[in-house]
Amino acid sequence: MILQIVGYKNSGKTTLMEHTVALLKAHNLRVVTIKNHGHIDDEITLQHSNVDHMKHFNAGADQAIVQGNYVQQSVTRQPKQNLSTLIDSSVTIDCDITLVEGFKHEDFDKVVIYRDQEALTELLTLTNVQYSLTLNDQEALNDYNLWLRSFITAKGLIT
């Protein structure tokens, strides 16, 4: 299952992603997250180049992977992909849910997070919007928790 969390810059997407991951993990679900770096003229910032796998990457490797005891990290040179291709080519573990921050024009179930009514009006024109909230509302996260539980129950992820 794929669930997107979408909104405009500084609307609380990352805060809601962290909150959602914690809720899903509390239900013992296996969660993968994907983040769209939506800043067109600004590339993502990679880990410091003084670690060995980044030295490999900076020397020209197309992919550099480091394996620890319980964590693996990979950095890959890859042109921007659509979300479905990214999931198919990059998610390497079995998971119950892929939680996506951004990619607002993709066609999966979405939670919209907004700061003001104008943003909400624009975001509600996106496809497959299942829920919307603003972190300006004190009860918003409690209501969201109830909605998310019912949503993942309806999708068969929990009983």
Question: Tens digit of pLDDT for each residue in 96-151?
Answer: 999 999 999 999 999 999 999 999 999 999 999 999 999 989 899 999 999 999 99
Query: Is there a domain that residue 55 lies in?
Result: no
CA–CA distance, 142 with 129 (Å, rounded to integer): 19
**Helices (H) then strands (E): counts for the chain:** 5, 7
Task: Work out how many domains the chain is built from and give that number.
Answer: 1
Q: What pTM did the predictor assign?
A: 0.87
Cβ–Cβ under 8 Å, residues 93 and 29:
no
CA–CA distance, 94 with 112 (Å, rounded to integer): 26
Query: Is there a domain that residue 73 lies in?
Result: no
Query: Is there a domain that residue 58 lies in?
Result: no
Query: Is there a domain that residue 62 lies in?
Result: no
Mean pLDDT of the chain: 90
Query: Is there a domain that residue 102 lies in?
Result: yes
List the domain range (segments joined by +) for residue 7: 2-39+78-154
pLDDT in tens, 81-92: 899 999 998 898
Q: Is the pLDDT of residue 50 over 80?
A: no
Residue 89 sits in a domain whose CATH number is: 3.40.50.300
Query: Is there a domain that residue 134 lies in?
Result: yes
Query: If pLDDT is split at 50, 70 and 90, which confidence band does 75 have?
Result: confident
